[in-house]
Amino acid sequence: MKHLLLIGLLPALVSLSASAADNALSAGKKLVDTHCISCHASSYGGDGSGIYTREYRKVRSFNGLKAQVTNCNTMLNLKWFDDEEQQVVQYLNHTYYHF
Ligand code: HEC
């Protein structure tokens, strides 16, 4: 009986962690939309995402992406927490960089 209960719980747990990842991505997107896009868009046009996909982009690795997000956070004095930086890194990597 216990086993059946556990097996029954498994899909719920799996979908829980999938939606946690989705939440991180949408939280990251919200942070980027709010704080980052307008400036990128004013120099690169469109929705500003051209800065991440241009041929000579600066960010070349996952660690480089983390460093860049930390730099922007510091430069803009946003005072993001670690988990907010992580969400932004995850969102940018998932959507543009694919490291
Ligand atoms: C005041 C303008 C401005 C704001 C605000 C800004 N950026 Fe940037 N960002 C730039 C410029 C300019 C560059 C290109 C730097 C270069 O080419 O040397 C850049 C480059 C980047 C890159 C590297 C792109 C590549 O070449 O791979 C990332 C990632 C990035 N920004 C993330 C962010 C994030 C995250 C935020 C919000 C916290 C942010 N930026 C806010 C101006 C801005």
pLDDT in tens, the chain (99 residues): 667 776 777 777 777 777 888 888 999 999 999 999 999 999 888 889 999 999 999 999 999 999 999 999 999 999 999 999 999 999 999 999 999
> Using CA atoms, how far apart are residues 6 and 99, in angstroms rounded to an integer?
35
Any residues with CB less than 8 A from the CB of 79 and at least 6 apart, and which? 73
Distance from the alpha carbon of residue 18 to the mean position of ligand 1, in angstroms? 29
The residue whose CB lies within 8 Å of the most ligand 1 atoms, and thus the one to mutate among 29, 36, 75, is 36
- For the purposes of burial, counting CB atoms within 10 Å of the CB of 69, is it exposed (0-12), middle (13-18) or buried (19 or more)? buried
Contact 44, 54 (CB under 8 A): yes
Pocket of ligand 1 (CB under 6 A): 32, 35-36, 39-40, 43, 51-52, 57-59, 68-69, 72-73, 76, 78, 88, 92
